[in-house]
Structure 1
């Protein structure tokens, strides 16, 4: 049984593109999610995406507001200094950008969902630094 989740927050750094051994596009990034009050620290989630969702995520940068949904997994690893780390991660099957776009008509509109894709397993990623909301 897998747990599904949706999260909305700011990207902690520019997304990082990785090619899988099968050549499929994969993107990782961290997401700062506001939990509690304005003085409470952000909850950092790892985001991993594959295929079309990965390509869409690469069009974003540090600080962009996005909403992702997908399967939740726990990711554990050991740093090069031997420290054990753990992070919750969402394997994204959809991404919605909160960016607005200016079509050729010059009118502002809300961006539409960028893709729907069911990915496979993922990889970990650590945040660069906390972002204010």
Structure 2
């Protein structure tokens, strides 16, 4: 019985510190609401009056980042160690997408840029 309890503790510690083999940091920017949707970490910063992406406050484990309905005018390079799959940044004030905006986001598969005033997209933005 004691060995079963010991194994359970080891599993709980392992699950708390790792997820898919990565350190599982669940940070959340102050202006945002963060939660799980199924097994995915969602950072919802929609309609938060943001003027820039809170790059330094994002969890490395963020799966979906919702920045819809803010006042963001410029995208800088995201930290390369973020595992983000979906970026929602519709209805902001973006006018262009530079080459470095999505560089390093190896897991990104979906970006919603609708409802912006984009007049220029660097041809290598989504390489």
Give the TM-score category using the shorter length.
under 0.3
Query: Which structure ranks higher in relative contact order (CA pairs < 8 Å, sequence separation ≥ 6)?
Result: 1
Larger Rg: 2
More strand by percentage:
1
Determine which structure has the larger helix proportion and give its number.
Answer: 2
TM-score by length of 2: 0.22
Q: TM-score, normalised by structure 1?
A: 0.21
